Amino acid sequence: MAFFKEFKEFAMRGNVIDLAVGVVIGGAFQGIVNSLVNDVIMPLTGMFTGNVDYSKWVISLAGGSVQIGIGSFLNAIINFLIIALSIFIALKYINKINAKLEKLNQEAKQKIMKAKGEKEEVVEPTVKNCPYCLSEIPYKATKCAHCASDLTEKAESN
């Protein structure tokens, strides 16, 4: 009985449900991309290459008893590239929106603090990059743990 209770808690978490929705939408999107490749892109490329149907390209081995579907593989590569490009564009757009929202939130927070007469809190950084090996190190470090460079000389010269 405890097993089912744990499974129910696991399945009802937001991230599992989000993942399930993503898989369903991804499957539907794959159908759209397959149609785009098979019904639009490949016929257009065939128009420029003398109506060659790439999806039927095969390499026959062992006297024709084994066939390798090169055309189907080519379609799958084009599908992948279109899906990857679409996801890249969508994520780039989402990240841009999130950056704008974060900036608006920071500005609103500063306005509220200013209206209340509160001072803005200064947060000291916790890490920095070594100027010699560019590794991430603690902010107050005076010697790099990765390349053993003395960081006090570099700080004094700046």
Report pLDDT for 8.
76
Report pLDDT for 145.
86
Residue (of 63, 42, 62) closest to 53 by Cα position: 42
Which two three-digit tokens encode residue 90?
């969508």
∠ CA 111-101-85, nearest 5°, is: 165
Coil, strand or helix at 140: coil
- In this structure, the answer to whether residues 134 and 94 fall within a common structural domain is no
Average pLDDT over residues 90-107: 90
Q: What percent of the chain has pLDDT over 70?
A: 92
Between CA 42 and CA 77 the distance in angstroms is 12
Report pLDDT for 76.
83
Residue 90 sits in a domain of what CATH number? 1.10.1200
Structure confidence by residue, pLDDT tens digits, 138-158 = 988 898 888 888 888 655 444
| Structural domain span for residue 71 | 2-122
Report pLDDT for 97.
93
Residue type, 49: T
Sign of CA dihedral 24, 30, 35, 36: positive
Average pLDDT over residues 80-102: 88
- In this structure, the answer to whether residues 85 and 138 fall within a common structural domain is no
- In this structure, the answer to whether residues 153 and 110 fall within a common structural domain is no
User: Does the pLDDT of residue 85 top 80, yes or no?
Assistant: yes
- In this structure, the answer to whether residues 88 and 143 fall within a common structural domain is no
What DSSP string describes 31-68?
HHHHHHIIIIIHHHHHHHTTS--GGG--EEEGGGTEEE
- In this structure, the answer to whether residues 64 and 133 fall within a common structural domain is no
- In this structure, the answer to whether residues 57 and 73 fall within a common structural domain is yes
Structure confidence by residue, pLDDT tens digits, 101-138 = 999 998 888 888 888 877 766 677 888 898 888 889 99
- In this structure, the answer to whether residues 22 and 62 fall within a common structural domain is yes
Structure confidence by residue, pLDDT tens digits, 27-51 = 888 888 888 877 888 778 777 877 7
Report pLDDT for 120.
65
- In this structure, the answer to whether residues 115 and 42 fall within a common structural domain is yes
- In this structure, the answer to whether residues 117 and 41 fall within a common structural domain is yes
Between CA 57 and CA 59 the distance in angstroms is 7
Q: List residues bridging with 59 in a β-sheet.
A: 68
- In this structure, the answer to whether residues 87 and 146 fall within a common structural domain is no
Split into its structural domains, the chain has a count of: 2
- In this structure, the answer to whether residues 143 and 130 fall within a common structural domain is yes
Report pLDDT for 123.
74
Q: List residues bridging with 68 in a β-sheet.
A: 59
Report pLDDT for 158.
46
- In this structure, the answer to whether residues 47 and 118 fall within a common structural domain is yes
